[in-house]
Structure 1
Amino acid sequence: MTGPYTNFMKMKKWSGNETIAPQDLSSNFEKLDDDLANRGINVKWFGAVGDGVTDDTAAFQAAMAACAKRYKLFMPAGDYRIRQTIENNSRGMYGVAPFVDSKHQGTRLIWDPIDKTTDLLPCIRIQDGGIKAVFEDFSVHGVVDYNSKQLGTWVDKALFEQNLYEAFGVGAAAIEIAGSSNPIFRNIATSKVKVGQLLNNMNGHISSYDCMWNGFIGVYCRNNSGDYFFQGGTITGAFTGVLLGTKLAAGHRGGFSALIHRTHLGFSPYAIYQTIDGGLEDYNKAPTVLGLSGIYMNAQFEQCGEAAIKLLPKSTTSNIRIFGFGFTWSVTSYSNTSSGWEYALPDDLKPPSEKQQYAAWFGTVSTPATFTDDLGKLKKSTAPGAVGSAYIDTLTGDRESDLSGLSIADTVIRRKVTPLYKSVDLQARMQEREHRALMPVSAPNLLRNPEVLSNWTVANGSISLVTTDQVPIPISNEMKQVIGNNPAILKVTPDGTEYPSLRIKFNAQTLPFHGDANRNLAMQYFILETEYTNASDYMSIGRIAAQNGEYIFNDAAAWRDKGWKHLRGREMASKTGLLYEFSIGFIPKKGETYIAGVMVTWDHIGSYSPYPHHYVAGPLEIGGQGLILTDSVTNSRYQLTIRNGNLQITPV
C-alpha cells in the first residue's frame, strides 16, 4: 500500500500495536486516503486492550471523538470492558463477529456500568451521526444473568398485576437509538442486559438484519415513532421479546408499528407484551392507547410460556397483518434441569391454575385486520387454566377481516362494534345466535310464513313440502340446532328446461314493507342441491329486493361438495328500508333441490322462526308474578296471574 496513508504510518513509526495520541491522529486527518475512510478508526490505536478486564471506556470515547461523524469505528476481536456510556460520533461501528466460541474469537463489549441506579443506561447511545449509519458484527453483553425461571428476582408481583413498567427492576440497556438517528443493524447480538435494543428516537426508520436481540427484554419500543424493520435473527427475552408501552409521543400513546420478516419470536414467557410506562394516571385518563400495527411475514412465535401477545385492554390494534404465527406453547412448569425449553412464568408470579389462559390478548381490534393461518394458527393450551386461543375485548370497524389464524372457534370476542361480517370464520363465530338451544326465544321473521306453500311464487318448476325422512341426504346436526329436529322442508322440482326460482313477500298488508332505513338486515336458509352435472347447474342466489332496484345479499354459492349448505347474509342495510321480497334464483334445472329454514330478520341472525312475532319453540313457563298485557284500545296495563286455579286480571 502506498500514498499518504502509508507515509503517515511510516512517519509515526506505527507497528500496529502502538498507541497513537488522538491529537496526532486528528492533526493528520487530511493525509488519510480512502482506505482509512472505508476501514474506519481502530479503537486499539487509542489504547483499547480488549482483554475483558481492562476498562476500555476512555479508549472508545477517544476513538469516537476521532471519528468526527466522518468515519466508522472498527473494533478488532476481543472483549472490551465498558463502564460508561459510549456516545456515538461515528458513521457506524463494526467488529469481526458478534460471538466468541472455542474456534473463533469475535468482538464483544462487556457492559458493566459504574452507575447501577439509572434505568436503561445504554452501553452505546446512537443519537448524533446516526443517519443511516451501519452497526454490525459485534455483541454487547451485560453482567446480570436474567432468566425466566427466576423472574421473581426482577419483577414485583403487585405492580406486575397492575401492568406497570415499574414492576421491572432497574437495569441497563445495550444500544439506545435516540434523537433523529435512524441506524441500520446487521449481525448484532445482545445478552444479560435489561433491554437489548431501546427504540427511543423521534422518526423511526430503524432497520435490523439477522440480529439476536436478547436480555430481560429483547426490544423495548419506548418512544413509538413507527416504521421499524426486522429481518432474520431472533427477538427474545427472559420476560418478553418485544415490550411496548403507553408513553405519549408524537400525538399518540405507545404502540409498535413494524415490518417483521423471517424473524423468530418467543422462547420467552411473552413474545410481545404491553406495559403502562407513561404513568397510571395518564393511562386511566386516556380513552385509548395504540397496540400493534404492521406486517409479520414468516415471524414465528415459538415456545411461548404465557402468551404470544399480551396487550392492554385500552389498546387499539389496527392495520395489522400477521400471516400465520408458527406458534408453539412452552411447558407450564420448570424441571430440575436447565437443558429443556422452559419459559413459563414462575409460580410466584402466576399460579398454575391461571397460566396460559389465552395465546393472545387484544384490547380493541379495528378492521381490517389480518391473522391468517399461512404459518399455523394460535391454539388453546392444555394447561388447567386455559380458556381459549385468543381474547379480543372489542372488535370494531366496517371492513372485512380474516381471523383464521386466531383459531376462531376458540377465540373469545367480548363485544362487537362493527356493521360488517363477511369472513367465513366470523360467520362461524356468530353461529351460537342461531341455535334454538342457546336462544330459545326467536326473533320475528320479516317474511310471510315460509312454511306455507301458498306464500311462495315459483317459476320454471313446482314446489311441495316434505319431511326429514323424504330427503336424499339426512339433515345435519347444525340444522337440528338451528331449525329443530323436524323442520318443514320445501322440495323444488324443475321443469327440466329453465332454472327455477322462488319468491316470497315480506309480511305486510300492502307492499313495500316499511322498515327502518339503513337498519341492518340478516338472512339465512339451508339448501340441498342434488344435481352436479356442470358448473352452471350448481349456482344458487338468495337476495332481498328493496325500493329503487336495490338488491341486498346477492349471494352466489358454488356447489363443490355434496350435502346441505347453510347460506347466511349478515348486517347489510337497505338505504330506504322499503322492502318487497326475498328470492332464491338459479336453482338447478335438473334434479330436485331442497330448502329449509328461510328467514330474514332485523339486526342479527337469530334462532329460526317462521312467524312474524317472537316465538318459543318449546313450552314457556311464567312464574308466580304473572304476565302484564297492554289493552290495545285504552293502553291500560293489566297483570294476569293464576290463584288457586283461577285467572286473575288486575290493573297495574
Structure 2
Amino acid sequence: MSDKLTDNLRMNIGSKADPLEPEELNSNFMKIDESLKDQGVNVKWFGAVGDGITDDTAAFQAAMQACDKRYRLFIPAGDYLVRQTIENHSRGIFGVASYVDGAQAGSRIIWDPEDNEADLLPCIRIQDAGIHAVFEDFTVSGKTSYTPKNLANWVDKERFEQGLYEMFSPGPAGIEIAGRAQPIFRNIRTLGVKVGQLLNSTNGHIYSYDCNWGGLVGVYCRINSGDYLYQGGMITGAFCGILLGTILHAGHRGGIEVNLHRVHMGFAPYGIYQCIDGGLDDYNRAPSVLGLRGIFTNAQFEQCGEAAIKLLTKSLTSNLRMFGFGFSWSVLDYPPEHSGWAYPLPDTLKPREEKQQYAAWFGTVQAPVTISEHLGKLRRSSAPGARGTAFIDTLTGYQASDLSGLEMADVVIRRKVSSIYRNEDLHTRMMEREHRALMPVSAPNLLRNPEVLSNWTATNGASLSLVRADQVPVPISNEMKQILGSDPVILKVTPDGDRSPTVSIKFNADRLPYRGDAGRNLAMQYFILETEYETPPYYKTIGRISGENHEYIFNDASSWQNKEWKHQRGREIASKTGLLYDFSIGFIPKSGDTYIAGVMVTWDHIGSYSPYPHSYMTSSLEIGGQGSGVILTDSVTQERYLLSMANGNIQITKMN
C-alpha cells in the first residue's frame, strides 16, 4: 500500500497530499482491510480537505461510489465545500459528533451549488440504499442568510396572497428523500438553505430524532406518502417550520400524516403552512386537499409570528390527535436592534393592522378530531387585527370532537355540518321546515321581537333603522320570500366609517338570563346583505349566542365578495347550561350599509320564521267538520275545555 494512501487512511489527520487519480484510488481502495471499511468509508481517503475553501465535491462522490450500497460514509471534523449534489450510495452517513449548536465544530458540509438557478437542488439526495440507512451527527449549511425580517427578498407578495408555491424564490435543499428510500436521521442540522429536509419519496416511513431542520423552510412535504416521525429537536424556518402542498399522490392531494413528539415548532412566522404547489387549476378543480393527520404530543408552537397553523380553505383535517400547543405569540414588530425574539411577517408582506388575526387556520375539520388543552390552549393575539384564536371554514361531526385546545370561546367557524344532514332526502326535508308555504306553523322565536327597532343595540357608533324590501339596494331573493314573506322587516346597520360594529338582541325573558334546557340543541337562522367588503375576503363572526360562564354558541364566520343576500344557519349545537343572554353579529364591515332580516333562534330545529315568542301562522287557521273546535287548558285548574261555534255563538264545553 502506498504512503499516499496510508496518509489518507489516517482518519484523525487531514491529508495535505494531492488527491489520488481515480484509477489509483479504486485500486488502492480495494486493498483496504474490510474491517476498516466496516467502520466507515472516510471521505479523506479520497482527497477531501475539509477547510471550507477547497472544493471537496469529487472526493464525496468518489467515496459514495466506494460505499457501493454496503458501507457507511464517514465525515471527519471539518468544513467540506460541496458544489454538486451528492447521490447517496451508502448505508448511511455519520459525522464525528452531534452538531449540538453553533459553537460546536463537528462535521459540516458547506453547500454552495454551481447551479444557483435550480429550485430545491439538494446537497444530498437519498434514494438508493436508503432503506433504514442511518444519517447522523453532521450539518448541512447553505450560503443564504434567510431571516423573517427580510422575507420580502425571497417571498413575492402577490403570490403569497394567492397561497401559491411560486411565491418563493428558487433555492437549494439540504437533504432530499426520494424514490422508495426510508432513512433514519439523528442529530442532523440544516441551515442557510431554502428547505432543510425535502420529503419527496413514495413510501414514507421516514424517522427523525433530535434533529434541527431549518432554512427558509425547515421541512417541505412535497409528496405526502405518510408515516413520518419526528421526535425531539426543532423544526423551524425563516418562513415556516413545515410546508405542506397539494400535489396529487396515491389518490390524495398534499397534506401530511405525521407523528410529532417533543418537537419545538415556531420561532418563525408560521409553524405549519400550506400552499398550492400542484397547480392553481388542479386546486380549483379539486373538491378538497389533505390537511393534517397524525398525533402531536408535546409539540410546542413557541413564538409564532403570524400563526401556529395556516392551512388552505379546501384542506381536510381528520384523524388528528393533538394534545395542546404550548403556544406563545411573537412580538408584532421588529426591535430596532437585533435583540430578543421577533418573528412576525414583515409589513411589506402583511400590513400591521392585518397581522395575527388567528393563531390557527383550518379548512374542513372532520370528526373525530382531538385538539385538547393538555399542553395549553391557543391564545388570541393582542394585535390590532386579531379576531380570534382559530378560524375553521367547515366543521363536521363536531359533537364527536374535542377542540378545547383551540379555546372555543374565541374560535370562528364559518359553517357547521352535522352528520344528521348527510342523507340528502333528510337534508331536503329539514330545509322544508324553514318555508312558510310548507311548514306554515312556526316554532316560537326565543329572541325578543327582532322586528322592533328598540330591541336592538349597536356598538362603535353604528346607527340602526328598519326598512322594507323596496328600500334595499339588492332585491330580496326568492328564498327570502318563501321563508320571510314578500315584504319582510329588515334591520339596516350604518357604521361610522372607522370602526367595525356589532349588533345584538336579547333573549325574550323578564329577567336575564333566559332559562332553558341544559344540553338541548339550539338552531338559528337569518339573512344578511353587505354592500361593502374587503380584499382579501373579510371574515366575521356570525350567529353568536352568548350564554352563562362565557359560553358561545354558533361562533361561525362567513366571507364573500359578491353583493348578494346570504342565508346563514346553525343547527345541532347544545347549550351546556341552558342559560342564555343575547344573540349578536360582529365584525360587520366598517363602511357601507349592512342589512339583516329574519333573525330567529329556536330549540331543536330551524322552523318557519316568526318574530314572536310563540307559535305563529301568517294566515288564518280554519277548522272544519261537525263538533270541531279548539281545546284549551285552564291555567289555574288545569281543566280542559272545548271552544266551538253553534248558531253563531261561542260554546265552551268542559272536557271529560
TM value normalised by structure 1: 0.66
**Contact 1:400-1:420 at 8 Å conserved across structures:** no
Structure 1 SS opposite 2:272: strand
| Alignment-derived partner of residue 97 in structure 1 | 97
| Aligned mates of 2:579, 2:267 — CA distance in 1 | 51
Query: 1:337/1:115 Cα in 2 relative to 1: closer, same or farther (>3 Å)?
Result: same
| Aligned mates of 1:341, 1:175 — CA distance in 2 | 28
| Alignment-derived partner of residue 188 in structure 2 | 188
| Alignment-derived partner of residue 385 in structure 2 | 385
| Aligned mates of 1:40, 1:629 — CA distance in 2 | 91
**Contact 2:99-2:138 at 8 Å conserved across structures:** yes
**Contact 1:419-1:571 at 8 Å conserved across structures:** no
Shift of the alpha carbon at 1:37? Answer: 4.1
| Aligned mates of 1:435, 1:77 — CA distance in 2 | 76
| Alignment-derived partner of residue 220 in structure 1 | 220
Query: 1:12/1:156 Cα in 2 relative to 1: closer, same or farther (>3 Å)?
Result: closer
**Contact 1:244-1:254 at 8 Å conserved across structures:** yes
Q: Superposition pairs for residues 518-533 of structure 1, below 5 Å? A: 523=520
| Alignment-derived partner of residue 142 in structure 1 | 142
Equivalent position amino acid for 1:128 in 2:
D
Question: For 2:619, which of 598, 621, 629 is the aligned residue?
Answer: 629
Q: Which runs of 5+ in 2 are unaligned?
A: 422-442, 452-505, 523-548, 553-570, 581-599, 625-656
Structure 2 SS opposite 1:149: helix
Is 1:485 paired with 2:511?
yes
Shift of the alpha carbon at 1:523? Answer: 3.3
**Contact 2:445-2:613 at 8 Å conserved across structures:** no
**Contact 2:185-2:208 at 8 Å conserved across structures:** yes
| Aligned mates of 1:109, 1:40 — CA distance in 2 | 17
Q: Which runs of 5+ in 1 are unaligned?
A: 1-7, 422-432, 442-479, 491-520, 526-562, 573-594, 598-604, 635-652
Shift of the alpha carbon at 1:293? Answer: 0.4
Identity rate of aligned residues, in percent?
A: 59
Query: 1:29/1:295 Cα in 2 relative to 1: closer, same or farther (>3 Å)?
Result: same
Shift of the alpha carbon at 1:482? Answer: 7.8
| Alignment-derived partner of residue 641 in structure 1 | none
Query: 1:434/1:263 Cα in 2 relative to 1: closer, same or farther (>3 Å)?
Result: farther
Equivalent position amino acid for 1:172 in 2:
P
Shift of the alpha carbon at 1:204? Answer: 0.4
Equivalent position amino acid for 1:76 in 2:
P
Structure 1 SS opposite 2:283: helix
Equivalent position amino acid for 2:405 in 1:
G
**Contact 1:263-1:300 at 8 Å conserved across structures:** yes
Equivalent position amino acid for 1:275 in 2:
C
Q: Superposition pairs for residues 12-91 of structure 1, below 5 Å? A: 13-14=6-7, 16=10, 17=15, 23-24=23-24, 26-27=26-27, 35-91=35-91
| Aligned mates of 1:170, 1:129 — CA distance in 2 | 28
**Contact 1:483-1:608 at 8 Å conserved across structures:** no
Which range moves more in the overlay, 346-355 or 91-100? Answer: 91-100
| Alignment-derived partner of residue 110 in structure 1 | 110
**Contact 2:61-2:87 at 8 Å conserved across structures:** yes
Shift of the alpha carbon at 1:205? Answer: 0.4
| Aligned mates of 1:103, 1:348 — CA distance in 2 | 34
Shift of the alpha carbon at 1:279? Answer: 0.5
| Alignment-derived partner of residue 167 in structure 2 | 167
Shift of the alpha carbon at 1:438? Answer: 8.2
Query: 1:27/1:353 Cα in 2 relative to 1: closer, same or farther (>3 Å)?
Result: same
| Alignment-derived partner of residue 271 in structure 1 | 271
Shift of the alpha carbon at 1:481? Answer: 5.3
Shift of the alpha carbon at 1:27? Answer: 4.5
The Cα offsets for residues 32-71 of structure 1, whole Å up to 9 and x where unpaired, read as: 5563243110000000000001100000000001000000
Equivalent position amino acid for 1:108 in 2:
R
Structure 2 SS opposite 1:349: coil
| Aligned mates of 1:58, 1:214 — CA distance in 2 | 26
Structure 2 SS opposite 1:485: coil
**Contact 2:93-2:136 at 8 Å conserved across structures:** yes
Query: 1:608/1:89 Cα in 2 relative to 1: closer, same or farther (>3 Å)?
Result: closer
Equivalent position amino acid for 1:162 in 2:
Q
| Aligned mates of 2:299, 2:102 — CA distance in 1 | 31
| Alignment-derived partner of residue 252 in structure 1 | 252
| Aligned mates of 1:100, 1:628 — CA distance in 2 | 76
Equivalent position amino acid for 1:406 in 2:
L
The Cα offsets for residues 414-460 of structure 1, whole Å up to 9 and x where unpaired, read as: 11112379xxxxxxxxxxx999458969xxxxxxxxxxxxxxxxxxx
Query: 1:485/1:616 Cα in 2 relative to 1: closer, same or farther (>3 Å)?
Result: farther
The Cα offsets for residues 329-349 of structure 1, whole Å up to 9 and x where unpaired, read as: 001111111111100000010
| Aligned mates of 1:489, 1:179 — CA distance in 2 | 62
| Aligned mates of 2:383, 2:394 — CA distance in 1 | 25
TM value normalised by structure 2: 0.66
Higher radius of gyration, 1 or 2: 1
Query: 1:382/1:631 Cα in 2 relative to 1: closer, same or farther (>3 Å)?
Result: same
| Aligned mates of 2:195, 2:77 — CA distance in 1 | 24
Equivalent position amino acid for 2:269 in 1:
P
The Cα offsets for residues 523-552 of structure 1, whole Å up to 9 and x where unpaired, read as: 379xxxxxxxxxxxxxxxxxxxxxxxxxxx
**Contact 2:445-2:612 at 8 Å conserved across structures:** no
| Aligned mates of 1:83, 1:61 — CA distance in 2 | 11
| Aligned mates of 2:259, 2:446 — CA distance in 1 | 45
Shift of the alpha carbon at 1:278? Answer: 0.4
The Cα offsets for residues 161-199 of structure 1, whole Å up to 9 and x where unpaired, read as: 000000110000000000010100000000010000000
Shift of the alpha carbon at 1:20? Answer: 5.5
The Cα offsets for residues 465-510 of structure 1, whole Å up to 9 and x where unpaired, read as: xxxxxxxxxxxxxxx95865289999xxxxxxxxxxxxxxxxxxxx
Query: 1:265/1:33 Cα in 2 relative to 1: closer, same or farther (>3 Å)?
Result: same
| Aligned mates of 1:102, 1:252 — CA distance in 2 | 40
| Aligned mates of 1:186, 1:346 — CA distance in 2 | 34
Give the aligned CA root-mean-square deviation in angstroms: 3.7
| Alignment-derived partner of residue 311 in structure 2 | 311
| Aligned mates of 1:135, 1:251 — CA distance in 2 | 31
| Aligned mates of 1:398, 1:120 — CA distance in 2 | 40
| Alignment-derived partner of residue 158 in structure 1 | 158
The Cα offsets for residues 69-101 of structure 1, whole Å up to 9 and x where unpaired, read as: 000000000000010100001000011135497
| Aligned mates of 1:488, 1:381 — CA distance in 2 | 32
Equivalent position amino acid for 2:207 in 1:
S
Shift of the alpha carbon at 1:617? Answer: 6.0
**Contact 2:141-2:190 at 8 Å conserved across structures:** yes
Shift of the alpha carbon at 1:105? Answer: 2.2
**Contact 2:514-2:579 at 8 Å conserved across structures:** yes
Structure 2 SS opposite 1:347: coil
Structure 1 SS opposite 2:327: coil
| Aligned mates of 2:306, 2:241 — CA distance in 1 | 12
The Cα offsets for residues 543-602 of structure 1, whole Å up to 9 and x where unpaired, read as: xxxxxxxxxxxxxxxxxxxx9x99xxx959xxxxxxxxxxxxxxxxxxxxxx999xxxxx
**Contact 2:193-2:215 at 8 Å conserved across structures:** yes
Q: Superposition pairs for residues 477-626 of structure 1, below 5 Å? A: 485=511, 523=520, 606-607=601-602
| Alignment-derived partner of residue 498 in structure 2 | none
| Aligned mates of 2:411, 2:322 — CA distance in 1 | 16
The Cα offsets for residues 325-375 of structure 1, whole Å up to 9 and x where unpaired, read as: 000000111111111110000001000110000000000001000000110
| Alignment-derived partner of residue 242 in structure 1 | 242
| Aligned mates of 1:44, 1:169 — CA distance in 2 | 35
Query: 1:114/1:240 Cα in 2 relative to 1: closer, same or farther (>3 Å)?
Result: same
Shift of the alpha carbon at 1:294? Answer: 0.4
Q: Superposition pairs for residues 412-431 of structure 1, below 5 Å? A: 412-419=412-419
